[in-house]
Amino acid sequence: MFRSFYIVALSCILTLPAGCNQPAETVPIWEKVKIRDLAPKHFGKTDNRELKTANFDVFIFEIPAENIDLLDDAWQTLYTRPLRYNDYKAFAANSFSAGFGQSTMWDNIALLLRNADAREVDSISLLLTDGRTDDLAITFLDREQTIFYVSNTGLMEAATIGPGRLALRIKAEKIPGSRGISTVTFIPVFPSPAKSPIPQIAAYEKSGEFLFKPVGFRLKMSPDDFIFLGPKKYSSDQMTLGSLFFSRPQPEPTIRTLLIICSRINY
């Protein structure tokens, strides 16, 4: 119920300045909506038999490429200190940008998205059991192709991948001795297209995937925390990791951004 309300309210935020048909004297909807509205109600007390899980809500937005400079305000507003990069130079060289925020910062980011003419194109709920991963599909490659990325050596390297999904792998792990907090890892990946239900075969297939490890990062997250992920610049070439991840040249030049919100941790 709360999540449905949040999505409707978020849609109101991203409409034209007239917004939803609200009476003139009411408080603007973006001043009412809080990230905590995402969190589901507890249906009874938890017990030790429940799975240790972390819940995330992912909102994918598309923004006209001409408005990319407006994202500078987001990067200046959000925190980077909590982020632990596998290699910061490689992360930035691949045109990735990320910022960490908490519930008190949500109003500013919502307003920024509205001002940038952001359009929500997808929303996904993830439930990650402790130590397991899930791959968030970013774009689909319809053929085998060579893409270029900057490695941890600082040099441009090539990877031949496809057809299949280019994804963001997310992993949540319980921190021993702590409650309500998780170490969350994000790594761009091209998973093996085939997935077998037989563990031995699945492990073999997984060995054929390609992880862009230098572009990965991790941080500690609690409920109401969020990560905003986007590009440093727009590129239409569709030949680099950054352009495939964040850019869509057709039918109109567009950039993709991700808002990843931790809505609940059950451990």
Residue in the structure block whose two tokens are 């038999």: 49
123-143: per-residue pLDDT in tens?
999 999 999 999 999 999 999
- Position 18 scores a pLDDT of 44
Beta bridge partners of 247: 255
The strand pair at 254-265 and 164-174 is best described as unpaired
Q: Is the model more confident about 19 or about 87?
A: 87
Q: List CB contacts of 232: < 8 A, sequence separation 6 or more.
A: 92, 95, 96, 97, 242
pLDDT at 10: 59
Distance from C-alpha of 69 to C-alpha of 73, rounded to nearest angstrom: 8
Q: What is the mean pLDDT of residues 13-28?
A: 49
In Å, what is the CA distance from 33 to each residue of 2, 108, 222? 11, 12, 19
Q: Where are the alpha helices (DSSP H) in 49-180?
A: 71-77, 88-93, 106-115
Examine the pLDDT at 72 and tell me if it is beyond 90: yes
Structure tokens at 166: 């280019």
Q: How confident is the model at residue 92 (pLDDT cuts 50, 70, 90)?
A: very high
* Reported pTM: 0.80
Could you tell me the residue ranges of all domains in the chain? 30-38+52-265
What gap in Å lies between CA 116 and CA 70, rounded to an integer?
6
pLDDT of residue 12: 56
pLDDT band for 199, please (50, 70, 90 cuts).
low
